[in-house]
Structure 1
């Protein structure tokens, strides 16, 4: 008797417990005062929760759930609609069901539904919306079922094992023409093209880089320029482009929303017209990588993406553009789960970049970096102004109230000075440099880059805008 009684007591709601307490009090008073009506009333009050518990225990808590998420890949800041179809697999009609859909805190509050007397084999269609406040991979469900009696005295809870995936990817901002092109023969449709070599005087050349074959040295161009030059042979390669992402936690001022498992906070201030601005510099960097990478891939570039934690490789071939390259779909899938790293140096990323970038342009998206962080990058990539660096003014995110910690005036001054020195170093090495702050959109930075590049000559082997 101990087991059933304990189960019944643990299934009581607050109302049921209050009723049991009232019944026990009446029973005690009736016995103490010798009043039989009080004892009879106490027995009735105590019997009601027990009968309710028996009724709930006889119900079979079995519910089949099926979810349809549209869309299953949603950009950060937008909504997805979920169709939850609940089926009663029993022959008998169900009673009062209280349903709760378990959701990660990043997607909002868990929706609740009430389903009364669902016929055996019948299906109830329930709908709710989730808001993709933070990018990542999430699971919707499982469904929790609570069975209650008509008086609300007893409830029994059971959880299912079914769920459905939802992928929140970075936003892709519409970028205009301009920007860097891909190397070695990319057309707008990704066509293969060769460099025309009409004669010894018309051969295309470039500056010598470490590892180049000395047999390809073009001595006439070397004598004319005073710098060691090599021939660019006719090679039917795809267009190439590479992104370098600085995801080191120490290089960014992270908000709580960027920490996996953290609950979504309130809206943060941002540029006018942006309903869901990036909450910190890392999210801005990821959004820029998604926008620029998608733009280059759609123009035909074979895209390689390198971070300080390694290269983002294609996983299943979905949306792939070429061997080793990421297509737009794959790029967004990989960026969706990109988290801040614990790395301290850019050196490993720069070394990997030197192996995969080839002769195509590089777009480096960098957080708070100093000249000492850029030494290897400048040594690896220097020469014609085909590479682009976007330096994030990390301190501006603290001023906009988006960081987890505030910056003192001295720290803000240190970051500003470091930013100026880094920009000067990169420009001196032939890079195009644009500074991005919290109040600037990816589109605005790209437009500035296009205007800056418009005054120069376009590379003969670049991907056309």
Structure 2
């Protein structure tokens, strides 16, 4: 995104939080603001010059006085020249890509354009980035000719998903002797979205697939001009063989038949985000595995032609995405998962309430990623199963060593019609997905 021109000795606006913002300049005065930019070298020269001048006056040494005045005048002249130099510099930032999986690198491209008629001095460029993305990048740019440009880039990487602000971009202008430097900041920020890592899943046959896959095709009325079962008025270009004579006689005008068309398959991906349902934290925790697995399933189902909806235990959900623009839908789902955090909810009832409005079987395929469950939550999930054509659950709760019998909650889940597979960190989601497809082919899907 363009960052805009640089203020102060440059043009444009600054970030109001910077110490040398326009408000600060008006309160302190432009010359005082410039004097505050003296470097350690400039302050040392000024102090040495003043001290030499005082000593020369006290000792009556005119030669030492001239040396002191020269030492004191040099940083002051540098300040005046730097302050009166009027440069116009524009900057921009471009992310490649703007949405990157966790543990993958993204490159940030910075571009500086000199849009004034003067050469710039030595420029020191610095961009602000959160510490989780790496060290703060700094660059030194040589003089930029009028109308010239400079381009630099740096890499960022995060092990944690989320949205991270980049900017504002800062420039420091210095004089050739290093006596003074002025810092100005652009006002524009950009956002880098770190999404959960995903894995490609094998193409398996699941109940509720779109046309050509499985048995879960549903019917609905098509839009105007398409076929469906209700007769409609004749339109220019309609095939006369589709004239419905009984309706024509009834309504007194020419009516044509419309036939049924298969409706797009629907799927819901349920992600249990209850804090009490997971142990541990960090990139290798069970919860992060569930988030990444949910993202992988969402993208896979979108590629297969599903209208995908993301649902959490708290009942919040993304709008149902269709294949009309699957890339936009995939981006929306990944953005939602990038910022998803643990919820304080202790029940899955809000998720069930989000499905209660539909008729039994109307929600198509339901894929759930669950933490630790009790029997009450299992009964809630069993009621959710009645709203779908098929329900598949991946549980991430650790199994106790030496335990031979399945926990009662999972038994209740299977009794409610769910197919249950173990999940969690270290397990391959593509392998589990393949196993779910084999169970469907063998007619064992629950």
Q: TM-score, normalised by structure 2?
A: 0.72
Cα gap change, 1:368 to 1:6, in 2 (>3 Å): farther
Q: Does 1:377 align with 2:402?
A: no
Alpha carbon RMSD of aligned pairs, Å? 3.9
Alignment of 1:165-176 (within 5 A): 165-176=191-202
The answer on whether the counterparts of 2:355 and 2:387 sit within 8 Å (CA) in structure 1 is no
Residue of structure 1 equivalent to 2:76: 50
Q: Does 1:111 align with 2:137?
A: yes
CA deviation map 1:292-343 (0-9, x unaligned): 122122222222221133343349xxx732799x943432233233233333
The answer on whether the counterparts of 1:190 and 1:238 sit within 8 Å (CA) in structure 2 is no
Residue of structure 2 equivalent to 1:187: 212
Residue of structure 2 equivalent to 1:87: 113
CA distance in 1, matches of 2:382, 2:405: 16
Partner-residue secondary structure (3-state), 1:424: helix
* Cα distance, 1:54 vs structure 2: 1.4
CA distance in 1, matches of 2:293, 2:101: 13
Residue of structure 2 equivalent to 1:220: none
Q: Work out which of the residue numbers 158, 166, 169 in structure 1 matches 2:184.
A: 158
Structure with greater Cα Rg: 2
Cα gap change, 1:254 to 1:8, in 2 (>3 Å): farther
Residue of structure 1 equivalent to 2:412: 425
Q: Does 1:248 align with 2:274?
A: yes
CA deviation map 1:91-125 (0-9, x unaligned): 11111111112223333233222222211111112
Residue of structure 2 equivalent to 1:320: 322
CA deviation map 1:258-316 (0-9, x unaligned): xxxxxxxxxxxxxxxxxxxx44333222211111122122222222221133343349x
Cα gap change, 1:320 to 1:166, in 2 (>3 Å): farther
* Cα distance, 1:132 vs structure 2: 4.5
CA distance in 2, matches of 1:19, 1:310: 67
The answer on whether the counterparts of 2:267 and 2:365 sit within 8 Å (CA) in structure 1 is yes
Residue of structure 1 equivalent to 2:235: none
* Cα distance, 1:370 vs structure 2: 2.5
Cα gap change, 1:154 to 1:368, in 2 (>3 Å): farther
CA deviation map 1:335-389 (0-9, x unaligned): 2332333333221112213445725221111123333333322233269993111
The answer on whether the counterparts of 2:363 and 2:388 sit within 8 Å (CA) in structure 1 is no
Q: Work out which of the residue numbers 398, 421, 446 in structure 1 matches 2:433.
A: 446
CA distance in 2, matches of 1:306, 1:46: 69
* Cα distance, 1:129 vs structure 2: 2.4
CA distance in 2, matches of 1:174, 1:359: 24
Partner-residue secondary structure (3-state), 1:121: coil
Partner-residue secondary structure (3-state), 2:290: helix
Structure 1 residue ranges without an equivalent (≥5): 196-233, 257-277, 397-411, 460-465
The answer on whether the counterparts of 1:369 and 1:419 sit within 8 Å (CA) in structure 2 is no
Partner-residue secondary structure (3-state), 1:310: coil
Alignment of 1:116-265 (within 5 A): 116-178=142-204, 180-182=206-208, 186-188=211-213, 236-253=262-279, 255=281
Cα gap change, 1:189 to 1:360, in 2 (>3 Å): closer
